[in-house]
Structure 1
Amino acid sequence: MRQSVITEIKSLYPQMNEAMQKIADYLIDTDEIEGVERASELAQRSGVSTASVSRFVKMMGYKEFRDFRLPIVLEKQGEEKRQAKSELNYNGETISGDAYSICKTIFSKSVRELEETWGILDFSLIQKVADLIHKARRIAVIGVGRSKITVEALFSRLYRIGYPIMKFSDSHEIVNITSILEEKDLLICVSNFGLSKSVVEGAKRAKKRGIKVVGISSIKESPLSKVSDYTLFSAYDYNAQDGNLFDPSSENLAQLVMVDCIYMLVARKNEKKNISYFKTFSNEIHAEHVK
């Protein structure tokens, strides 16, 4: 079953040329796609050539425009009209009204990001990643900026049940660890847009040493996804870099849920031992609580 067409467009957006991005912008924002019957009409409305539409359709995995049109029309029929943007917005939605309205906007966007990530999640791949973690001699997790949230979550989950995991967010430390990883080690790289130089270069450095690399990102065909052996994708936050006053955390939320999935899959590998570690850790932490 194909994933959401709009989700796929968002995921491929950073890899599109200017003409294709114009088509993508129109398709994401419009509520009038039902009136577009031919590729030439979409070209006219997007301000591009018909040839650009043909290339766009093929990039999306369809042979003809008519094959592409039907699923996106059906998808658009179930969408609510997008709100107008303002200077203060969250993931493309205007932030206005009282506390209830603002919180509803943010919660609904986060729920949507989770639903879209669920729609693109590769279950056989996430199981493969859990297997690699379980068998690894050492696990190094790297990520900078907002991606550190996911790095910290993965580290804390696996560390507490005894897995030999390390985390690095400083560019110099990333150079160091990716230069000394050895056979049977595993490198996990986190980058929301797959563009962070220290992370991508770290992945390349590790690959040269024969290390398996797992990426966690939102962008297909990004530099990180191209160098990684395996990449787990969260839904792409299309509006995250569109002049927002606040970087939405909905993308990180989806990655945190993926981390929990990995954690549970890994914990099942040696359930009795891992539960024993967790109980010991929990009891010791409880003893540290103020009474």
Structure 2
Amino acid sequence: MKQQVLPILSSAYENLTKSEKNIADYISEHKEMIMRETVAEIAKHTGSSEITISRFCKKVGFSGLQELKIALAAELSSAIETPYQEINVKDNEEVVGRKIFRNITDGLQDTLKILDFSLISAAVDLLGKARRVAIYGFGNSATVCKDLETRFLRFGMAVQSFSDVHMQVTSAALLSREDVVIAVSHTGANKDILESLKIARKNGAKIIGITSYAQSELAHIADIALVGMGREVEYRSEAAASRLIHMAIGDIIYTCLAIKMPQEYQTNLQKMRAVIAQRRLK
């Protein structure tokens, strides 16, 4: 992930300990102040130890407090942070619509700050060489999986999405080192998906994970972890917001594949349009 402090803290938050969450909250709420504070002062204000501060910095991807401060300073100087647009019971339809669209936009921008495009490139290379592609996800994530399946079919790929646990493990058992799994999970902590991925990995398949949490088990087990985050507001779950963010990541992969496979893409697209046109009313 790119060194963007605030999006990284948000992405890692659910996987932090109570004391680490206190540190993350303090950094987020006192962004300007911590630039002038020492490790000892931050430890005092967060009720933790200097060692805990050091471990926290390393856990979220920095070598220490100084590197975190440098990244935060660059982040603050290059952008103006926009607040979450909370939805409340008195909002009318137009206000609700504006807030939802604003939060989707902000979530996409947050993701853009932390998305590692070298990992996108690696994912595209894996998929371009894969014998077949299996896509795993449940609930909201299953809609992302179906969208990916529909798009990747346009390349003539052997691709199928699975949202049933028994079908997932069956699929995983039949994979080989020539195959790729894309696993989509907001929390990255679904036991059934993780079990399917362990089976797939045992058979040599490569794993691409799409999740909202950089420190999740899915991010750790995946060969390539792509992290996208949605902004959580009242009346709208973060998991629902992440669905659109994860679809956007899928769109990036799809478009990059189309660029790398122009002949296959254009030929297949023309074939698809021809048969679909026959289904339309004259």
Q: TM-score, normalised by structure 1?
A: 0.84
Deviation at 1:197, TM superposition (A): 1.2
Q: Percent identity?
A: 29
Question: Which amino acid in the other structure matches residue 8 of structure 2?
Answer: E
- For 1:288, the equivalent position in structure 2 comes to 279
Give the gaps of 5 or more residues in structure 1.
84-89
Matched, 1:212 2:206: yes
Give, in whole Å, the separation in 1 of the partners of 2:65 and 2:204. 43
Which AA in structure 2 matches 1:265?
A: C
What displacement does 1:209 show? 0.9
CA RMSD in angstroms comes to 2.7
1:34 offset after TM fit, Å? 5.7
3-state SS of paired residue (1:28): helix
Aligned-residue offset at 1:100 = 3.2
> Are residues 1:246 and 2:240 paired?
no
Partner residue in 2 for 1:86: none
Distance 1:135 1:24, change over 3 A: same
Deviations 1:26-82, CA, capped at 9 Å, x for gaps: 323456636862334333433434442233234344455455345435645755585
Equivalent residue number for residue 276 of structure 1: 267
Q: 2: distance between equivalents of 1:217 and 1:180?
A: 24
Kept in 2: contact 1:57–1:64 (CA 8 A): yes
Q: Which residue of 2 aligns with 1:72?
A: 72
Q: Relative to 1, partners in 2 of residues 1:221 and 1:283: Cα closer, same or farther, differing over 3 Å?
A: same
**Counterparts of 1:183 and 1:69, CA distance in 2:** 42
Does the 8 A contact of 1:216 with 1:233 survive in 2? yes
Q: How does 1:1-291 map to 2 (within 5 A)?
A: 3-30=3-30, 33=33, 37-62=37-62, 65-69=65-69, 71-72=71-72, 75=75, 79=80, 82=83, 93-95=86-88, 96-235=90-229, 237=230, 239=232, 244-248=234-238, 249-291=240-282
Checking the alignment, whether the CA contact within 8 Å between 1:36 and 1:42 is kept in structure 2 is no
Q: Is the 8 A contact 2:87 2:235 kept in 1?
A: no
Aligned residue for 1:184, secondary structure, equals: coil
What one-letter code is carried by the residue in structure 2 that aligns with 1:13?
Answer: Y
| SS of corresponding position for 1:160 | helix
| Number of equivalent positions | 279
5+ residue gaps, structure 2, are none
- Contact kept, 8 Å, 1:4 with 1:119, in 2: the verdict is yes
The answer (yes or no) to whether the contact 1:10–1:238 under 8 Å persists in 2 is no
Give me the whole-angstrom Cα distance separating, in 2, the residues matched to 1:180 and 1:150: 23
The answer as to whether partners of 2:108 and 2:245 remain within 8 angstroms in 1 is yes
* Cα pair distance change 1:68/1:147, threshold 3 Å: same
